[in-house]
């Protein structure tokens, strides 16, 4: 009583096809497949470059704050 048998899965699949239709399910499958492909390509691109060759963005240099107030001890 705890698990699904083969007949249960067939009935679930038929209900899903009836609700969504075969065309929409095909589109969803294609979208998922292209997402997986681009994810794998991204992983391969990251692995192909050793960390020493990756260029990091330089940190922005903070500009000194200027004020209009004149100080007595500053020449």
Domain limits, the chain: 22-48
Q: Is 0.85 surpassed by the pTM of this model?
A: no
pLDDT value at residue 72: 61
R_g of the chain computed on alpha carbons: 30
Give mean pLDDT in consecutive 10-residue pieces for the chain, a chain of 75 residues: 82 89 86 92 72 60 62 59
**The predicted structure's pLDDT at residue 8:** 92
Question: pLDDT value at position 3?
Answer: 80
Q: Assess contact for 10 and 18: CB atoms under 8 A.
A: no
Q: Give whole-number Cα distances, 14 to 1, 18, 30, in Å.
A: 22, 6, 20
Specify the pLDDT at position 62.
Answer: 66
């Amino acid at each position: 009583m705890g698990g699904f048998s083969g007949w249960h899965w067939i009935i679930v699949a038929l209900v899903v096809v009836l609700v969504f239709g075969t065309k929409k399910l095909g589109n969803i499958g294609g979208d998922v497949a292209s997402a997986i492909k681009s994810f794998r390509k991204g992983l391969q691109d990251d692995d192909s470059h050793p960390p020493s060759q990756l260029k990091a963005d330089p940190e922005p240099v903070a500009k000194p704050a200027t004020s209009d107030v004149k100080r007595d001890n500053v020449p």
